Amino acid sequence: MTLDTIGEEIKKANSIAILAHESPDGDAIGSVLAMGLALENMGKQPDRIITEYPRKFQFLPGADKVKKESQVEKYDLAIALDCSDLRRLDGKEYFENAHKTIVIDHHSTNTMYGDINFVNPVATACCEILIGIFTYFELDIHQDLGTCILTGIITDTGGFKYQGVTAETFEFTAELLRKGVNVSEIYEKVLETRTRSNFELLKRILNRMEILENGKVAFTYITSQDEEEVHAEPGDHEGLVEVGRNVEGVEVSIFIRQIDNEAKYKISMRSTSDINVSDICYLFGGGGHPRAAGCVIQGTVEQVKEKIIQEVRNRLN
C-alpha cells in the first residue's frame, strides 16, 4: 500500500525537504509545519522550505524552523504538500534534484508529478489527508501537531463552512480541543485578522468591484502599484476574492492580481453554484477545486477580464 511505501522512504532518508505551493495559504503552511513535526517525531531532521512565509502564520509551532532556501543540493527525499503541479511548487529545484519524491495533495487536478503520489480530492484540506497518514503511522497527534493541522482545515473550509466538511471534520476538531488545541486562537489569527495592508487593498478592490452578467459575476483587481503603495507583504492579498462571492446573486467571483508589474495577472476564482471554476482555470493552464481555483493569464486588466469572463459566460444559464 502507498502509505507503507511512503513510510519506508521516510525511514530510509537521511535528508528530507518539505515543500508546498508558492504563495502559501494556511493549508500549505499547516501541512509543511505538521509534516515537519511528524518527521521529527519519527527521528528525522527535515528541512521545511518556504520562500515567502506570511507574517500571519508566525504564531504556529515550528514556524521558526522554516528556511527560505537550503544549501543541500540533492535531498534523499522531497515531499510536496498541497501542490497540484510542479510548476506551482515553491523550491521546485529541491524536488527535481531529490533522489526520491512524494506528493501528498487534495487537488483533483493534481498531475501526479512525484515518484509516489498520495492524492485524495475528497479531502477538504491537505492537512486532513495528513491526519490519516499520521494515524496510520501511529504517531501521536499532540497539541502542536494538531494546531498546524487544524490551521489547514480551518483555512481550506473557510472556518468549517464550505461543502466537503463532514462529521469527521468536527469529530477530529473535538478531539483536538480535548488535547488543548486553541481553536478560537487559530480562528482569530488565521481568518479574522486583517493586516493593515490587506485592509487598504480591500478598500481598493471594493471601489473597483463590478457586478456583471446580470448580477452573476463579480470582478475586481489589484495592480503591482497598489501593492507597493500599501506596502503589501506576501499573503496580504489573501481572502480578497471572497468579498465578491458573498454578494447576493453572484455565482462566480473573479479577483485578478498583477504579477511583478508585467502584463500578466494571477487569477483567483470562487464559485457558489455548479459552475466549476477549476475547469475554467484548467483551460488557462491552472487548476484547483470546483469552487476555488486559479491560473495565470497574460494581458492588460481589460484583456484578462474579457478572456476569463468569456469562459464564465459560456457556462452561465
Find, among 56, 149, 34, the residue nearest to 48 by Cα.
34
Residue 137 phi/psi, 5-degree rounding, is -80, 0
Q: Is 251 in the site for Mn ion (CB under 5 A)?
A: no
Beta strands in the chain (DSSP E): 16-20, 47-49, 66-67, 77-81, 100-105, 116-119, 210-212, 217-222, 252-258, 264-271, 287-289, 292-298
Q: Is 21 in the site for ligand 5GP (CB under 6 A)?
A: yes
Q: Which of 9, 85, 236, 251 binds ligand 5GP (CB under 6 A)?
A: 85
The answer to whether residues 26 and 151 touch, using CB atoms and an 8 Å cutoff, is: yes
Q: Which is nearer to ligand 5GP, 146 or 286 (CB)?
A: 286
The answer to whether residues 81 and 156 touch, using CB atoms and an 8 Å cutoff, is: no
**3-state SS class at 286:** coil
Q: Is 128 in the site for ligand 5GP (CB under 6 A)?
A: no
Question: Smallest distance, Å, CB 296 to ligand 5GP?
Answer: 6
Q: Is 190 in the site for ligand 5GP (CB under 6 A)?
A: no
Question: Smallest distance, Å, CB 105 to Mn ion?
Answer: 8
Q: Is 105 in the site for Mn ion (CB under 5 A)?
A: no
Q: Which is nearer to ligand 5GP, 75 or 118 (CB)?
A: 118
Spatial separation of the C-alpha atoms in residues 187 and 271, rounded to whole Å:
23
Q: Which is nearer to Mn ion, 15 or 151 (CB)?
A: 151
Question: Smallest distance, Å, CB 66 to Mn ion?
Answer: 18
Which of 39-47, 51-59, 80-88, 119-127 is the region at the interface with ligand 5GP (rule: CB under 6 A)? Answer: 80-88
- Cross-strand bridge partners of residue 64: none
Spatial separation of the C-alpha atoms in residues 45 and 139, rounded to whole Å:
16
Question: Can you read off the three cell numbers belonging to residue 233?
Answer: 507583504
Q: Which of 222, 294, 305, 308 binds ligand 5GP (CB under 6 A)?
A: 294
Q: Is 38 in the site for ligand 5GP (CB under 6 A)?
A: no
Q: Is 128 in the site for Mn ion (CB under 5 A)?
A: no
Q: Which residues bind Mn ion (CB under 5 A)?
A: 27, 82, 126, 156
